[in-house]
Amino acid sequence: MLLTVRALRRMFLLMVCGLLPALLAQAQQKTFTLDPAQTKVNFTVDSTLHTVHGDFSLKRGSIQFDNATGQAGGEIVVDAASGQSGSDGRDKKMHKDILESPKYSDIVFTPQHIKGTVAAEGKSEIEIEGTLTMHGKSKPTTLPLEVQLQGGAGTADGSFTVKYQEWGMKSPSTFILRVSDKVEIHVHAAGQMAN
């Protein structure tokens, strides 16, 4: 009987030791789920006549990440057809000729890796490396973010530049109107953090 109890103890100890790394790995995996109603995606593009400001709506989004390994996953999906700049004529041209939003309805950022550590509370500065897919093409993109967490609720703010012609979009420039080939994107994300 004593041998059986020892054997059971050893088996239990081996089982716990074998599961411990997996349990620790799960404990470090976190998910930040974005709230579409509170998340804003704004854009700015310069031209010879004026600077155009506009925004897009978030369809859905979540980022899974592990501070220990830097691995990240998830998906942030922006509704390309929601883009508006305050001018119906300009927006119609943007959707028909540049974004081609009836054909390419989603703009998707797929996180793959984070640089930096997201603190459980307070402010953190990180970079999320991933793939930005729009207009049918995918390109590597890095999104620098300032993350603020408190009691599970959080915000993330960051800006990056998109050279839209690299994704196969046409320039809206004309003989008289010259439009920059760069669009500045600013993201204000709000959501909830969970383990």
> Can you list the alpha helix ranges (DSSP code H) found in the chain?
2-28, 88-93
Mean of per-residue pLDDT scores for the chain: 89
**CB-based contact 81:108 (threshold 8 Å):** no
- Residue where the block lists tokens 């501070």: 67
- Which letter does DSSP use for residue 171 in this model? P
Helix (H, G, I), strand (E, B), or coil: what is residue 167?
Answer: helix
- pLDDT band of 23, cuts 50, 70, 90: very low
Query: How many Å apart are CA 189 and CA 142, to the nearest integer?
Result: 16
Query: How many Å apart are CA 188 and CA 133, to the nearest integer?
Result: 19
Q: Which pLDDT score, from 0 to 100, does residue 176 have? A: 83
> How many CA atoms are closer than 13 Å to the CA of 130, on its beta-carbon side?
23
Q: Which pLDDT score, from 0 to 100, does residue 195 have? A: 84
**For range 8-24, the mean pLDDT:** 52
With left for phi above 0 and alpha for psi between -120 and 50, is residue 11 left, alpha or beta?
Answer: alpha
Q: Which pLDDT score, from 0 to 100, does residue 177 have? A: 84
Domains of the chain: 29-194 (2.40.128.110)
- Residue where the block lists tokens 């049918």: 136
- Residue where the block lists tokens 């509704």: 79
**For range 95-99, the mean pLDDT:** 93
Between 97 and 15, name the one with better pLDDT.
97
Distance, first Cα to last Cα, the chain: 43
- Residue where the block lists tokens 């459980």: 120
Between 21 and 60, name the one with better pLDDT.
60
Residues 157-176 pLDDT 10s: 999 999 999 999 998 888 88
